Structure 1
Amino acid sequence: MQMRSERSGVGFVLMVATAIVLVGTGAIDPLGAFLVAVLVAAAALFATPYAFWLRSDDRGVTFVRYLLPRRFAWAELRGLAMEFGEEVESGSRHLTLRLRLADPPGRVPGPLLGKLPVTQEDTPSGVPSRAMAELFALFGERGLPVEEAEFANEVLRVRGFPPLPPLRVWAAPAEGVPGAERAYADAPGIDEEADALPAEGPRPRQRGRREYLLRRAALADRVFLRDGDGLALAIALRAAEQLVRYDQITVEGDQRHYVREQYLSWRARNP
């Protein structure tokens, strides 16, 4: 799964290499070598599928690219990462797919599955492939979150698959949601935390992204509790929403309750 514009370079290299080999060996005349090279480039650009396979079984998935397999147990996967973007030169839109990993210490971001063209409205361009629908359905069956569920459900609908199951709903602890005083009792000072957190933090697929979102949401909540103005509340609610979206869950009511519960748990592990 790859945009044709990104295969053009590969096609050109293959064309030149094919022509050099055929002419150098004298297998056919130069004109024939040129025609064969053009056919090779066309195959790379239009006919050759993107070179990866994704096989699944009860234990996990095996990702194969360039004949090199990588095995991931289901417990290592957190879902399917999907990110819309725009080509700088052409302005065309695309969707990037990656495996989303559980992110234990030292693990690199999940492997790239492909980049696909989409419409300017970020909807499927043309008839989506059955392989893409099967990929979304597989993650849905395993209960793994699929980002951009609206896009995935449209692909599933076109290919005759059932929609993705709804996101799991966060359940508050049996003892109740911790209040702000308890949740932030051991937190560093607001100014100290603000200085420690960078403006952007790790990029979406980099290790440490969730910790950054959690700390930023907790900081925004604390700023509102201190200042109490409408702008601070909007910032706190937005930061809480970003954490909830990252965790791929549904939180009924005030999402800051989830932030406080998660922050208290994180501080217990990171005193």
Structure 2
Amino acid sequence: MRTVRLASMRMRSEVLGLGVTMLVVSAVLLVATEAVTAGTAVLVSVVVAAATIFVTPHLFWLRADADGITLVKRLVPRRYAWADVHGLAMEFADDAEGDGRHLTLRLRLTEPKGRFWGPLIGKVYVTGDDTPSGVPPRAMAELFAVFGERGLPVEAREFANEVLRVRGLPLLPPLTPWVVPPEGPPAPEKAYADAPGIEEEEREVEALRVRARARKRYQREYLLRSAALADRRCLRDGGERGLGGALAAGVDLVDNDQIGVEGDPRPYARRQYWVWRTFGS
């Protein structure tokens, strides 16, 4: 059994913010009730804030064993069987104050890839280039190692492997290669048989791009439909520029899906688009 502690995976600003909140609330309550003098109220509030800052990170931890993951937040445990865990979602974003970047880590509990994941399990600071900031927390490296051992997909593999390398742990295993179905990938005529017209799809994909920026759950659908749209344009117009755009969009989809595809990614994109149109996933 491997135990991963998340105490070091809470952003300082979050912990300090909670400590300041507790300081203000306790001071106001003590003064309002006139239970103690103003000086004593301030002293008690400082002690409460300091205790909050110290204790808060230790109320978050993760335990992984052969059967699943137990996530404890504020001493409340939640159990997730490995069969329900589909990977580790990683999202890079600017801090609220706009003076830095951070990485949010979540369990992904839903399929298909790209829809909303699951519970928050940690936040850490990163550089402006979305690389590890300083020496990465040991807990984060242990977390990546657990998912690597289970063969579960981890987004931002380059980031995860750099963390593992710095901490001296084995790198993530190679991506699972895409297994071409026995009948082969669908021909474009089949893959796009009931697709909207190209002009209509262009408008829908552009609207989806805007939604994907605000809500990560739309990202996979956006990448899938963008790859299919670029492929259809290439088939219609030809040319090196069209081919380059189709290949690039296909690679973006492959990277998002954490799958190994050798050579031309368009057959994979056609297969995934056909599955999406046929089964809605």
Give the match for residue 232 of structure 1. Answer: 242
Give the match for residue 6 of structure 2. Answer: none
Is 1:220–1:236's contact at 8 Å kept on the other side of the alignment? yes
Gaps of 5+ in 1: none
1:164 aligns with 2:172: yes
Kindly state the Cα deviation for residue 244 of structure 1 after the two structures are TM-superposed.
Answer: 0.9
Paired residues for 1:130-145 under 5 Å: 130-145=138-153
Identical columns (%): 58
SS at match of 1:257: helix
Match of 1:222 among 218, 232, 241: 232
**CA 118–243 in structure 1, closer or farther in 2 if over 3 Å, else same:** same
1:83 aligns with 2:83: no
Instruction: Give the TM-score of the pair, scaled to structure 2.
Output: 0.82
Q: Which amino acid aligns with 1:200?
A: R
Is 1:128–1:155's contact at 8 Å kept on the other side of the alignment? yes
How many residue pairs align between the two structures?
Answer: 267
SS at match of 1:16: helix
User: CA-to-partner distance for each residue in 1:7-43, whole Å, 9 max, x for gaps?
Assistant: 33311221123334555474x6543442332233234
Kindly state the Cα deviation for residue 152 of structure 1 after the two structures are TM-superposed.
Answer: 1.5
**CA 227–171 in structure 1, closer or farther in 2 if over 3 Å, else same:** same
Kindly state the Cα deviation for residue 259 of structure 1 after the two structures are TM-superposed.
Answer: 0.6
Is 1:7–1:45's contact at 8 Å kept on the other side of the alignment? yes
Instruction: Give the TM-score of the pair, scaled to structure 1.
Output: 0.84
**CA 259–100 in structure 1, closer or farther in 2 if over 3 Å, else same:** same
| 230-239 or 7-16: bigger deviation | 230-239
Asked which structure has the greater RCO (Cα within 8 Å, sep 6+), the reply is 2
Give the match for residue 253 of structure 1. Answer: 263
Match of 1:265 among 268, 271, 275: 275
| 214-223 or 251-260: bigger deviation | 214-223
Kindly state the Cα deviation for residue 223 of structure 1 after the two structures are TM-superposed.
Answer: 1.1
Kindly state the Cα deviation for residue 144 of structure 1 after the two structures are TM-superposed.
Answer: 0.6
1:99 aligns with 2:107: yes
| Higher helix content, 1 or 2 | 2
User: CA-to-partner distance for each residue in 1:195-243, whole Å, 9 max, x for gaps?
Assistant: 4432416537654543343223112211111011333333322321221
1:243 aligns with 2:277: no
SS at match of 1:224: helix
1:213 aligns with 2:223: yes
1:200 aligns with 2:209: yes
RMSD of aligned alpha carbons:
2.7
User: CA-to-partner distance for each residue in 1:97-134, whole Å, 9 max, x for gaps?
Assistant: 11122237xx8532222221123333322332222111
